[in-house]
Amino acid sequence: MARNKTSKAWMQEHVNDPYVRKAQAEGMRSRAAYKLQQLAERDKLLKPGMTVVDLGAAPGGWSQVAGRAAGATGRVVAVDLLEMTPVAGVTFIQGDFGEDAVLAAVEQTIGGDGVDLVLSDMAPNISGVASVDQARSVGLAELALDFAVNHLKPQGNFLVKVFQGSGFEALVADIRSKFVQVMIRKPEASRSRSSEVYIVAKGLKVRR
């Protein structure tokens, strides 16, 4: 019964959410699109002609925003384990980017010029065990960071979602060691009760 009440309360909140309504009205795949929009505007992350990789892209809200910003002269590569309905101007690769074959497909699509911006809105499948879910969240962020460090152009930028909790500070310290400027952001479109935050990392340091 308690679970039923929780589900009903979530559905009520979801239906009344202004960003859910806005997404439906504007043809966006998810309310998460507005999180990226707000983060990108604040920290000037997106511009025409960019090469962007969107990790954990499904259902495609972030890819829509990135694709529109990058424009015809840019390139957006979206990657996810789940299927994703095509987004105009975005190349979608289904699979785990940690696997060699999928990574090779991503690299082939990117070409040899490197990436301007790596995005990751990945989240683990929630088990309900807080410590397990937190560890998985940080693990996904670390995978995204590893991809970014190996594929960004010098001075390239990285945006990743993570949940505050165990391992968060160590992750931030690791990112600070690799980027010139690191900010912790919580966009207006992020629900206040959620422990999610976004790490904006600008200016990949040149490895010596």
For 76, other C-beta atoms within 10 Å of its C-beta total 30
Amino acid identity for residue 63 in this structure: S
Cα–Cα distance measured from residue 167 to residue 161, given in angstroms and rounded to the nearest whole number: 14
Residue 82 exposed, middle or buried by CB count within 10 Å (0-12, 13-18, 19+) = exposed
Tokens of residue 25, six digits? 């009205």
Cα–Cα distance measured from residue 112 to residue 110, given in angstroms and rounded to the nearest whole number: 7
Residue 170 exposed, middle or buried by CB count within 10 Å (0-12, 13-18, 19+) = exposed
> Which amino acids are annotated catalytic?
161
16: three-class secondary structure by DSSP: helix
Cα–Cα distance measured from residue 67 to residue 77, given in angstroms and rounded to the nearest whole number: 9
Contact between 95 and 101 under an 8 Å Cβ cutoff? The reply is yes
